[in-house]
Chain A
Amino acid sequence: MSAHHGSGQHGGGQLPSTFDADKVMGNVYDSAVVRRLIKYLGPVRSDLGLGAAGMVMRSVSTVALPLLVGIAFERILSAVQTGDLSGLNTIVLIVLGVIVLGWGGRYLEELFLGYVGQKILYRVRTQMFDHLQRLSLRFFDQNKVGRIMSRVQNDVQQIQELLASGMLNVVFSALTLVAIAVVMLVMNTHLALLTLTVVPALAAVTFIWQRYARQAFIKVRRAIATVNAQLQEGIAGVRVTQSLTREEINSEQFDNVNREHYSANVRAARLQAVMWPMVEILTALGTALVIYFGGRQVLAGEMTAGILVAFMLYVRRFFEPVLELAMEYVEIQRAMASGARIIELLDVEPEIADAPQAIELQAPAKEIKFRGVSFGYTPGLEVLQDIALTVDPGETVAIVGRTGAGKSSLANLITRFYEVNSGEVTVDGYNVNSVTQQSLRRQIGVVTQDPFLFSGSIEDNIRYGRLEASREEVIEAAKKSHAHDFIVRLQRGYDTQVGERGENLSAGQRQLVCLARAILANPPILVLDEATSNVDTNAERLMQKSLRRLMKGRTCLIIAHRLSTVTHADRIVVLEQGRIVETGTHRELLARKGLYHQMFGALSAPDLSL
């Protein structure tokens, strides 16, 4: 266990798979996990205390009731002789009191332990989210979204149950068992010893059963995961399936995993059902022991019938805490594994953090400079080598090159999404490492190829650029990006919901919204990854127009794909295998007859000159 949260803590640590079935269960006690998790209990200790008090009250009530019923029976028996009802009345009142005690206890327990659970859930969740906000992009490159989400959602749920009620349940189930045993021993040692022999048998059977049940349970979980994955693929890949006419084979395959799931469940059901005869027989055995030996004692006048009844009632209460213990045993193991995964995520150090003396970059920043920059995503594989480049204030520089030449990497370094291997990137003479990430990124607007919208209204999405912007400013920005026209034509205008559920915008419209967002942010530096995906011709024209407007007066670095863009740039930088191989204006570069000419020369036939 320690192996998987002891290693891989550095920077972009890759989280191990959560799908591994072995990892579904951890050890029952993992001190490293417990020590960390226990800290979450500190702030909720008063709730925890009240909940525990409730548990105590409930346990007392549970243990006391059979005894009181027994006593009541004795009172009734004596009243048959004396005709005096006061003894019975008193005991009935006490019974009522104990029932009310149980009620109050149950209420406190449910309420405060529920509170504890929710408070822990909230804290761990937000803590994990906040932590994710600090992690570097490399982390997100290496870990799939689904896997991270599963930690923030499922694993947190799992430990919440453990911390809120699981651990206390274990303690109180054990205590209840002990208390019942003590009461029985006090009432009648001989009979108690005879009857209690059932408990170890019950415990042994339950724990052995639990081990098999656990395996069956893991198999069921694995089987359902397979079925769901297959179903998901069946739905998501249905277009491929139909075009390659594979429906029948798929149905056969699905039937196979479905059948496996069925058998796994039937095996588990058999195991679950097997508990019935075992528990019933053992409980009946306990009752039979009480009837025979206890009955003989009553007949011999060594014990009252009331105690006999109390014993019979107690026998029926053995099983519940035993089962509870066995169940929690499984839950705790799962929670330990979840706890380890949570800690693992929380322990991933952000690879890029603000320097201790980081200063605020003053607005408006103007000039970008690369000095001898080398960079790679994986060690030993440099994507950029020895880059020297200055983008002057107000200048537009276009970067061209093939896929993999390092264009996007260059852009990623300006915003300090990644750290250089050597050399330095400066903005207005400040090394990007020496300023706060926040102040740096506020100065730089990034417009990427795939426009990302959050679910929410269009207005919210534009306002994302500057949160304090008024509605008028939002509209103003939309007008500048030429998004306004299509927005007002939508039925709900700026209130139209987009994102996840409202995919009612075309790719081009999304681009325009993202541009409005960038315009609203009004950054002095613009990094633009020119979209090549085909938006409709109309949107394309609008985008070009608004882009040109956006670029005016700003320092711009554009990853360019189109002829029209490069011809508008002040300077063009040609990247090849991570190095700058040519620099100059469109005409200069064409005249050079180098790589640039190979790329764009064909398009600059005289009839096309712009």
Chain B
Amino acid sequence: MTILLRLLTFVRRYWWLLLLAFICMMASTAFVLIIPLLISRSIDTVLGDGQTRDLIWLAIAVVAAGALRGLSAFGNSYLSEVVSQRTAYDIRNALYDKLQRLSFAFHDQAQTGELMSRGTSDVEAIRMFFGRGLLGLLQIGILFIAISIILVRLNWPLALLTMGFLAAVGWRAVVVARLLRPIWLHIQQLMAKLGTILEENLTGVRTVRSFAHEQEESRKFSHQAEVLYDKHMLATRKRAFNISLMVFLVTIPIALILWYGGREVIAGNLTLGELTQFVFYLTMMSMPVRRLGFITNIVTRTISGGQRILEILDTESAVKEKPGAIELDGVNAAVSFENVTFSYDSTAPVLKNVTFSVQQGELVALVGSLGSGKSTIAHLIPRFYDVSGGRITIDGIDVRDVTLDSLRRNVGIVQQDTFLFSATIRDNIAYGAVDADMEQVVAAAKAAQLHDFVASLSAGYETWVGERGVTLSGGQKQRLAIARTLLINPRILIMDDSTSSVDAGTEHLIRRALGELIKGRTTFIITHRLPIIRNADLILVLEEGEVVERGTHNDLMARDGLYRQIYESQLSVADISGEEGPEANDNQVM
């Protein structure tokens, strides 16, 4: 209930629209109730000593009532839809803004698919509630009470019989909806499972084929499809039974009305016209009563969906700007870590007492095995996470004392997994600097050694990439990410290169560009590429969150420690000093 009340705050801004919709709803209910009365009057007119003139007036009244009912129903339906869409629009925006601003710590925990379902089906559930649920429920209630009053005044035993029956059916509809809901939820889970099998079969096609397990996969899929099928059949049976029963129960009062009402007419307690009212009001109520189940489901879904949405909206970002944070400008880009400790949650620390300082313009290579804390260091500088202990300073200023915007504009980071947006190459490069002109974009692409490739595409910089566009190779993507970062011209450059060691062509290109990239910048590179490491002013060797060795390549090789060990077993040798490899084969399978 508190959730519904909190969700109502989203609608509060549109209270007058909602009020208008409510007035329309009341009007439409009133007009719809008039029509059977008019019909009843006309029956009694023709059966009594009525005049043709009376009939004209009744006919006109029916048309007028119909028209007014139509118009007010239009108002009701349209306005409540506007309110609900408006609410959904607000919630979506709020959700998007929140998700944009929540720190990495939140996104590390969350799954895209799960967040998506909050942004889509949960918002949709809330929309349905405000569109049809809220006023729909009210309308059914009002309709039911009004009809009960009208019928009781005509003939209370018959009214009680009819309305009691309908109330029971309505109750049953709610029960059935509750009964079927878990089955549908289960079916949804089974569908998701089937989808997973399909998806894994498609993404893992090479594994399937190399083990020659096609038949086994078919069996697995059809088995799961069968489980789903059985559950569906069960749902079909339950649904068929309950729906038909419901329709049956809703129609049964017709026989009751004719049987008992007929006797009342004969006894002179009821006119035939009044009996018609019973028939018409019954038909009028049968649909809404059956829909009660649907509406209660909307309410249930809204509560659970609302809870999930509010959960996100209530989450505080772990990284927050200090009130009165200063702008970081005129950066010399000297970076230092002072006794930095960090852990992702309350688990074991990922960084322990890391201390180092880097002068302006230096090239630092971070080396270490997976999980040693290299990427964490990279992520702490632009403050994607906050340190658990110690501090990080840029030119002596704690990164927590400056605005996030100014900090991140000065710290450019090229991340491990290059994410491309569904947009043109140009837009992807200019992602962080939307007002960059074409020349600047091309210059960045040239510096990142991407230009030649882009120029070779028929649509050039207007080539569409991402989900629905051209597929780029890992190396091309990475170079695009570099261009993207270069365009914001950061004073501090961080390149997280640790997993993308496949592409030797890029390796070479990057190395060629490196001199230009790092010119005048303080640069951190996480890499296993030998030639780059050799040029570093400082190599930090990390193990289990600690800096275990530091120095230049020659220093460290002389020491015969961990660096040397890594050097021998892991460093990539694929690079060749000759001319670059055939670019065309970068994306041979497009």
A564 to B569, CA, bound (A): 7
Tell me whether B206 and A448 are in contact (CB under 8 A): yes
Q: Is B144 an interface residue (CB 8 A)?
A: no
Q: Pick the contact of B212 from A236, A442, A541 — CB < 8 Å?
A: A442
Tell me whether B419 and A236 are in contact (CB under 8 A): yes
Stretch at the interface among B147-155, B162-170, B176-184, B582-590: B582-590
Chain A residue with Cβ nearest B414:
A243
A603 to B568, CA, bound (A): 9
Residues of chain A lying within 8 A (CB to CB) of residue B43:
305, 308-309
Chain A residue with Cβ nearest B405:
A245
Shortest CB–CB separation between residue A438 and chain B, in angstroms?
4
Q: Is A431 an interface residue (CB 8 A)?
A: no
Q: Is A3 an interface residue (CB 8 A)?
A: no
Chain B residue with Cβ nearest A243:
B413
Shortest CB–CB separation between residue B113 and chain A, in angstroms?
9
Residues of chain A lying within 8 A (CB to CB) of residue B47:
77, 298, 305
Kindly state the interface size class of chain B when it binds its partner: 35 or more
Q: Is A261 an interface residue (CB 8 A)?
A: yes
**Which residues in window 443-494 of A have CB below 8 A to B?**
444-446, 448-449, 452, 454-455, 464-465, 467
Q: Is A235 an interface residue (CB 8 A)?
A: yes
Residues of chain A lying within 8 A (CB to CB) of residue B272:
73, 76-77, 305
Q: Scoring A residues 297 to 314 as 1 if CB is less than 8 Å from chain B, else 0, what string do you get?
A: 011000001001100110
Tell me whether B70 and A278 are in contact (CB under 8 A): yes
Q: Is A132 an interface residue (CB 8 A)?
A: yes
Q: Which of A88, A454, A455 has the most CB of B within 10 A?
A: A454
**Which residues in window 564-610 of A have CB below 8 A to B?**
564, 577, 595, 598-600, 602-603, 608
Residues of chain B lying within 8 A (CB to CB) of residue A9:
none
Residues of chain B lying within 8 A (CB to CB) of residue A125:
225
Chain A residue with Cβ nearest B263:
A85
Tell me whether B46 and A122 are in contact (CB under 8 A): no
A283 to B284, CA, bound (A): 14
Residues of chain A lying within 8 A (CB to CB) of residue B409:
245
Residues of chain B lying within 8 A (CB to CB) of residue A312:
39, 276
Residues of chain A lying within 8 A (CB to CB) of residue B107:
235, 238-239
Shortest CB–CB separation between residue B565 and chain A, in angstroms?
7
A235 to B74, CA, bound (A): 38
A507 to B203, CA, bound (A): 17
Q: Is B2 an interface residue (CB 8 A)?
A: no
**Which residues in window 529-572 of A have CB below 8 A to B?**
532-538, 540-541, 544, 561-564
**Which residues in window 503-542 of A have CB below 8 A to B?**
506-508, 521, 532-538, 540-541
Given the interface pairs A106-B247, A111-B240, A244-B432, the reply to whether A80 lies near B266 with Cβ below 8 Å is yes
Q: Which of B266, B408, B434, B583 has the most CB of A within 10 A?
A: B266
Shortest CB–CB separation between residue A564 and chain B, in angstroms?
7
Chain B residue with Cβ nearest A599:
B576
A327 to B72, CA, bound (A): 24
A141 to B432, CA, bound (A): 32
Interface of B is mostly: helix
Residues of chain B lying within 8 A (CB to CB) of residue A602:
573
Shortest CB–CB separation between residue A251 and chain B, in angstroms?
5
Q: Scoring B residues 105 to 140 as 1 if CB is less than 8 Å from chain A, else 0, what string do you get?
A: 001001010011001100000000000000000000
Tell me whether A129 and B222 are in contact (CB under 8 A): yes
Q: Scoring B residues 477 to 497 as 1 if CB is less than 8 Å from chain A, else 0, what string do you get?
A: 000010011001000000000
Residues of chain A lying within 8 A (CB to CB) of residue B315:
none
Q: Is A229 an interface residue (CB 8 A)?
A: yes
Stretch at the interface among B79-87, B303-311, B346-354: B79-87
Residues of chain A lying within 8 A (CB to CB) of residue B119:
228, 231, 235
Chain B residue with Cβ nearest A610:
B568
Q: Is A240 an interface residue (CB 8 A)?
A: yes
Shortest CB–CB separation between residue A514 and chain B, in angstroms?
8
Shortest CB–CB separation between residue A448 and chain B, in angstroms?
7
Tell me whether A103 and B245 are in contact (CB under 8 A): yes
A415 to B206, CA, bound (A): 10
Given the interface pairs A110-B240, A129-B198, the reply to whether A415 lies near B209 with Cβ below 8 Å is yes
Chain A residue with Cβ nearest B408:
A245
Stretch at the interface among A148-156, A388-396, A421-429: A148-156
Tell me whether A561 and B216 are in contact (CB under 8 A): no
Count A-side interface residues using an 8 Å CB cutoff.
Answer: 169
Q: Is B458 an interface residue (CB 8 A)?
A: no
Stretch at the interface among A23-31, A168-176, A402-410: A402-410
Shortest CB–CB separation between residue A20 and chain B, in angstroms?
11
Tell me whether B574 and A452 are in contact (CB under 8 A): no
**Which residues in window 30-88 of B have CB below 8 A to A?**
35, 38-39, 42-43, 45-47, 50, 52, 55-56, 58-60, 62-63, 65-67, 69-71, 73-75, 77-78, 81-82, 85-86, 88
Residues of chain A lying within 8 A (CB to CB) of residue B266:
76, 79-80, 83, 85, 88
Residues of chain A lying within 8 A (CB to CB) of residue B58:
291-292, 295
Q: Is A357 an interface residue (CB 8 A)?
A: no
Tell me whether B244 and A153 are in contact (CB under 8 A): no
A237 to B568, CA, bound (A): 36
Q: Pick the contact of B112 from A232, A305, A455 — CB < 8 Å?
A: A232
- Counting residue pairs across A and B whose Cβ atoms lie within 8 Å, the total is 471
Residues of chain B lying within 8 A (CB to CB) of residue A92:
255, 258-259, 262
Q: Is A249 an interface residue (CB 8 A)?
A: yes
Tell me whether A103 and B204 are in contact (CB under 8 A): no
**Which residues in window 240-254 of B have CB below 8 A to A?**
240-241, 243-245, 247-248, 251-252, 254
A149 to B206, CA, bound (A): 17
Residues of chain B lying within 8 A (CB to CB) of residue A577:
582
Residues of chain A lying within 8 A (CB to CB) of residue B590:
141
Q: Is B545 an interface residue (CB 8 A)?
A: no
Q: Is A186 an interface residue (CB 8 A)?
A: no
Residues of chain A lying within 8 A (CB to CB) of residue B62:
284, 287-288, 291
Chain B residue with Cβ nearest A296:
B52
Tell me whether A258 and B89 are in contact (CB under 8 A): yes
Residues of chain B lying within 8 A (CB to CB) of residue A599:
573-574, 576
A121 to B254, CA, bound (A): 39
Stretch at the interface among A32-40, A268-276, A337-345, A363-371: A268-276
Tell me whether B46 and A402 are in contact (CB under 8 A): no
Residues of chain B lying within 8 A (CB to CB) of residue A153:
191, 195, 198
Q: Scoring B residues 205 to 219 as 1 if CB is less than 8 Å from chain A, else 0, what string do you get?
A: 111111111111110
Q: Pick the contact of B369 from A126, A261, A537, A562 — CB < 8 Å?
A: A537
Chain A residue with Cβ nearest B96:
A254
Tell me whether B573 and A563 are in contact (CB under 8 A): yes
Q: Is B233 an interface residue (CB 8 A)?
A: yes
Tell me whether A69 and B78 are in contact (CB under 8 A): no
Residues of chain A lying within 8 A (CB to CB) of residue B104:
239, 242
A409 to B585, CA, bound (A): 11
Tell me whether B203 and A537 are in contact (CB under 8 A): no
**Which residues in window 223-259 of A have CB below 8 A to B?**
227-229, 231-247, 249-251, 254-255, 258-259
Given the interface pairs A76-B275, A149-B198, A599-B574, the reply to whether A126 lies near B222 with Cβ below 8 Å is yes
Residues of chain A lying within 8 A (CB to CB) of residue B504:
402-403
Q: Pick the contact of A537 from B96, B240, B566 — CB < 8 Å?
A: B566
Residues of chain A lying within 8 A (CB to CB) of residue B99:
234-235, 238
Shortest CB–CB separation between residue A581 and chain B, in angstroms?
12
Q: Pick the contact of A534 from B59, B244, B528 — CB < 8 Å?
A: B528
Residues of chain A lying within 8 A (CB to CB) of residue B548:
none
Instruction: Identify 27 residue pairs between A and B in the complex whose beta-carbon atoms are under 8 Å apart, listed by A's number.
Output: A17-B468, A79-B266, A88-B262, A103-B245, A129-B225, A149-B198, A149-B199, A232-B112, A232-B116, A235-B110, A243-B413, A244-B432, A273-B73, A273-B81, A276-B71, A281-B70, A284-B62, A287-B35, A288-B62, A291-B42, A295-B55, A299-B55, A404-B581, A404-B588, A534-B528, A537-B570, A599-B576
Complex A-B, nearest 4 residue pairs according to Cβ-Cβ distance, in ascending order: A284-B66, A404-B585, A244-B432, A277-B70
Q: A404-B584, A533-B501 are in contact. List 14 more A-B contacts (CB 8 A).
A: A85-B266, A106-B248, A114-B233, A129-B217, A234-B100, A235-B99, A237-B419, A280-B70, A288-B60, A316-B283, A406-B585, A467-B216, A533-B499, A598-B577
